[in-house]
Amino acid sequence: MGYRVAIVGATGEVGRTFLKVLEERNFPVDDLVLYASERSEGKVLTFKGKEYTVKALNKEGSFKGIDIALFSAGGSTSKEWAPKFAQDGVIVIDNSSAWRMDSEVPLVVPEVNPEDVKDFKKKRIIANPNCSTIQMVVALKPIYDRAGIKRVVVSTYQAVSGAGAKAIEDLKNQTKAWCEGKEMPESQKFPHQIAFNTLPHIDVFFEDGYTKEENKMLFETRKIMHDENIKVSATCVRIPVFYGHSESISIETEKDISPEEARDILRDAPGVIVIDNPQNNEYPLPLMVQGKDEVFVGRIRKDRVFEPGLAMWVVADNIRKGAATNAVQIAELLVDEDLI
């Protein structure tokens, strides 16, 4: 049995990756409908050797007959269009932040809370978490199940691809200008130069000094883990890397757990690859994880502040596991659970 799948935001970085992941994982697609903005209308994209023409999402129309819609088109677009798809019987899997904290919309990471996917029926919308949250909870859930987690302190080192096409161009153009000894071009996306620099600023700031990105890591983690008592303090930083988010994570556990036990637990955990041999310079790197769907964990050690506690280093491809792959995995869950 196959399904009619729509992709909203098909010409963007995540939209194109949807196509790759659907093909690589052999998701049962019978027909494909591609949507994007008016400026992308008429573009042709290829899926499994067949060409599909992109439609503009700018007209009222029926979406009946579509089984699943994968959205990656921004919060305002999702707020406007996701309910219209849902009203026509489509199950929407949305990558924006628009629905994540809606109490009637499940927020799902298949390795962490697959059971929540069944709650989509209230609004026929399932939210994909923030990219930095996804990789963190995939790494933390096996530890949480064994020893409990009370507090998390995380610093992220996030690739420019997470900020979109203009951010990628900023890093390319600024690096090229620096190497050629030319004047640094003005940034299209960031408030400061990103090449050879770090920006402790992702999304807008709130009055308490934290950013929206940092708050996402707190509130989304609580919702996914079903634990309102977990405390999360995040500092989110943009770095001059194209793909792959890295995270330095320290956790306070409820029960003592050794680094050796944590490694064993994580090696057996779904969607996790442990690379932890620092004596031979073996640990996860952004270049290593590019194009991969797993979450990579290394540098597992006793934390020197939290007792009991652990520190670890977590890296994942933000466009794949942090966005497209996680959404396709949710679609696979719907199929596996006979929910569609």
Residue numbers annotated as active site: 131, 245
What torsion do the CA atoms of 179, 292, 95, 106 make, to the nearest 10 degrees? -150
What's the angle, vertex CA 262, arms to CA 260 and CA 265, rounded to 5?
Answer: 115
Strand ordering across the sheet containing 55-56: 55-56, 29-36, 3-8, 68-71, 91-94, 125-127
- Would you say the C-alpha torsion 79, 85, 88, 91 has a positive or negative sign? negative
Phi, psi of 290, rounded to the nearest 5 degrees: -60, 130
Environment class of 299 (CB within 10 Å of its CB; exposed 0-12, middle 13-18, buried 19+): middle
**Residue 152: what residue type?**
V
Tokens of 116: 């929540």
Question: With contact defined as beta carbons under 8 Å apart, do 45 and 19 qualify?
Answer: yes
Tokens of 310: 């652990």
Tokens of 184: 């640094």
Q: Which region holds residue 47: left if phi is over 0, alpha if psi is between -120 and 50, else beta?
A: beta
